[in-house]
Homo-oligomer: A and B are copies of this chain.
Amino acid sequence: MVLEEFIGIAAGLLTTIAVLPQIFKAIKTKEVNDVSPFMFIILCGGVGLWTVYGILKMDWPIILTNGISFILNAIMLYIVLVSSKNKVKA
């Protein structure tokens, strides 16, 4: 494998899983007051568009990394929105 390919795969892997520690922390502590929902709205928009870009180019690495990233960021956005809705009710 060429060095470039290795770096590209490692970079894609890291940026895809980056949101996982934030999801685990939010589930564990049930506290997300300090987390900005707008960050995850914009991230979902961005990686969503990267997924469309990958589909238009039929580039599977781009489709997979950004597709998974979209799902994970959407989960985090859901956690933040549900939590702030519950806070309004309380």
Contacts and interface: CB of A to CB of B under 8 A. Distances in A.
Interface of A: 3-4, 7-8, 10-22, 24-26, 29, 31-36, 38-40, 42-43, 45-50, 52-53, 56-57
Contact of A42 (B18, B32, B33, B47): B18
So how many copies of this chain end up in the complex?
A: 2
A3 B22 CA distance: 34
Interface SS, A side: helix
A50 B11 contact: yes
26 contacts: A3-B56, A4-B53, A7-B53, A7-B56, A8-B49, A11-B49, A11-B50, A13-B46, A14-B43, A14-B45, A14-B46, A15-B42, A15-B43, A15-B46, A18-B40, A18-B43, A18-B46, A19-B39, A21-B36, A21-B42, A22-B35, A24-B36, A25-B34, A31-B33, A31-B34, A32-B34
